[in-house]
Structures are given as C-alpha cells and as structure tokens.
Amino acid sequence: MSRSFRAARTEDDAPPTDWLAELPHELHLRILEGVDDFSDCAAFSLASPRLGLLALRSGLARFNDPLFAVAIRLQIAQHCVGSVGTVSVTLSEDTLRRYAADRRASADHFLWLARVSPALRLSSEVEGAGERPIEVWRLRRGENGAKLRVRLLHSGLVEHYEGEKGAERKVRAELANGVVQYFEGDKGAERKVRGQFDGQVKYYEGERGAEQKVRLVFPNGNVKYYEGEKGAERMVRAVYASGRAKYYEGERGAERLVRTVRADGQVQYCEGQ
C-alpha cells in the first residue's frame, strides 16, 4: 500500500509556524501518549491546538479526563499574569467546584491539584466506622473546608453540595442504579425538584418530605401530568409529541380516559371504566 509523505523542505520555504506539524501522524500519537502530566497535556494543546484536538479525538485518557480542562484554565491564567515556569496563580473556587461535581472526577488526582494550587485545593477523607463509612470531599482554603461531595461507601450513593462551610446544601444525588435526583432549598430544607433515569425526567413540587410528582417527560417528547399528594399522584393528562392530548379522571391506579383532543382540534369523549 502506497503512502504519501510530506514533501522535503527547501531553503526557499518559509519556516513552519508549527514545527510539530512536520512530523508524521503516527509519531504525533506516540508523542502524545507519552505525555503523562496534565500540565504538560495542557501546554501541548495550547502550543499546538491541532495536536490537542488529535489527542481528544483519538481518545487518549489524560486529554479526555475532566482534570485536563482544569489544567487548561490554569495554563491560560498563568499566561495572562505573565508567569513563566512557576505557578503564580491559584485555581478559582468555581473551577474546583466544577471538577468535584463531575462524576468522572477522582480523588487520585488531588495531589496534582494540591501541587499546582496549594492555597485552594480539594481534599478527601473517610469518616465514620463500622459498616457505614463515608468518603467526604472538601474545598480547602487552609484548614477550613466546605463539604462538596459525600459518597456512601456501602451503597455507592453520591451526594453533591454547594455553599460555604456550615451552610452546605445538597443539590444533587446520584444513586448506584443510575437515578439522578436534583434538589433546591437551604441546608436542612432541601426539596427534590427533579429526577432523571434512562432518559426520563420526573418533576416534583412541594416542601421537603412532601414532594409530589407533577410531570413525567419521556425521551420521545411525550409528557404525562399528575395531581395529588405524595404517594397518591394520579395521572390527569397525557400530551404526545404528535400534538394529541388525552385527559383522565379517577384515583391513582384506576385512571380512566374521558376525553381525547386531536392535533387538529377535534374532541372525542369517552365513558365507562
């Protein structure tokens, strides 16, 4: 199989703006595979965006890790303040919170974060004893640390928090079975407002402990609406992506169709069980 090679350079050619571009494609990947520090990955990508894009598209692990985005932000910040060769900036609180909130984030990389941003960093400790220990991630500025993430080691449940130390409020919970729940409200009064699983989204209303399901949205665009208190929600309406709507009456589990409204406005009434 024939292969085309880059034409040899001559003395009349202008110097390349990207010397790495002169190398064969296969050698590019070999070089990128050998870059094992996130700071170096970021520096490579900023120096040669084409190579950074190649690494991303090739699925190289470090270039697809969420910490790569953190390293990029750090490199840009250093460049903006004129830092050369030394770390003279600290990662922002927003950047660290975003990283901790990513489900792909790993405590294995906290040492790297502490090295590049010692003044503001992430920490991980295991608390509790016996059969129900928990792993707690904190955002630390000195000894003080706001709780960011709690993982129940016995069940795999992961809870995410926002807010300053002492006022941390739960905003998201990820269950081991793939269900994701979202919360709103101050600390101690967080109420569930949304749940997601397998493409379906459930919406809730009501105070903490009394949240009732009011809407269920399917991936295909169909929507079901509910009324009633928690545990007794009954379906009252279903709206389909086609524009058709169905209306129901009756208690939960015994809802009966009473009316259908077609997309063209025609209405059909139903009677019976």
Helix or strand or coil: residue 42? helix
Q: CB within 8 A of 265, min separation 6: which ones?
A: none
DSSP bridge pairs for 145: 140
Q: CB within 8 A of 72, min separation 6: which ones?
A: 42, 45, 46
pLDDT computed for residue 1 by the predictor: 42
| pTM of the complete model | 0.79
DSSP structural state of residue 19: G
Instruction: Return the top range by mean pLDDT from 31-45, 50-64, 153-167.
Output: 153-167
Checking if the pLDDT of 105 tops 60, the result is: yes
pLDDT computed for residue 174 by the predictor: 96
pLDDT mean over 13-17: 56
**Domain ranges across the chain:** 198-273
Q: Give 236-268 pLDDT, tens digit per residue.
A: 999 999 999 999 999 999 999 999 999 999 999
CA neighbours closer than 13 Å in the CB half-sphere of residue 136: 14
The separation between the first and the last C-alpha atoms of the chain, rounded to the nearest angstrom, is: 72
Strands 223-227 and 256-261: unpaired
